[in-house]
Structure 1
Amino acid sequence: MAESTYTVTGMTCDHCVASVTEEVSEIPGVTDVDVDLATGAVKVTSAEPVAEADVRAAVEEAGYALAS
């Protein structure tokens, strides 16, 4: 099992959290997504390590961005 934490910018409400959770959950191999709205932290748990580019693409699809 692999865990990675990313910081997402632009989230302001529970709808934002739901959108990011939904998109990141669709990445193959992802088993859990935990979003902390207050800090922007998104913890991704997966069977195997997930490429940051895949997480970035999912977050952007939801309408947000990974902090650089």
Structure 2
Amino acid sequence: MFTYGRITRLLLSETGGKVEEFDDFYRRQLDLLTKLAQSKRDRNQISRNDQCPCGCGKKYKNCHGG
């Protein structure tokens, strides 16, 4: 993903594209990937009898762990 961002940014700057808009888009994509990676890591540490992280109030095994 990092190499893709660098190459795309270079292409935009060389062709007169809007580099700032790409930087904002790319930053949002990286933030999303970071959040997804963290949630996947956190999910692996959840016991079946813990509260579900989605906030529904159910046990994990009855919500997303089923």
TM over 0.5: no
Q: Determine which structure has greater relative contact order: mean sequence separation of CA pairs < 8 Å that are 6+ residues apart, divided by chain length.
A: 1
Q: Which interval holds the TM-score relative to the shorter structure?
A: under 0.3
The TM-score with structure 1 as length reference comes to 0.27
More helix by share: 2
Identify the structure with the greater strand proportion. 1
TM-score relative to the length of structure 2: 0.28
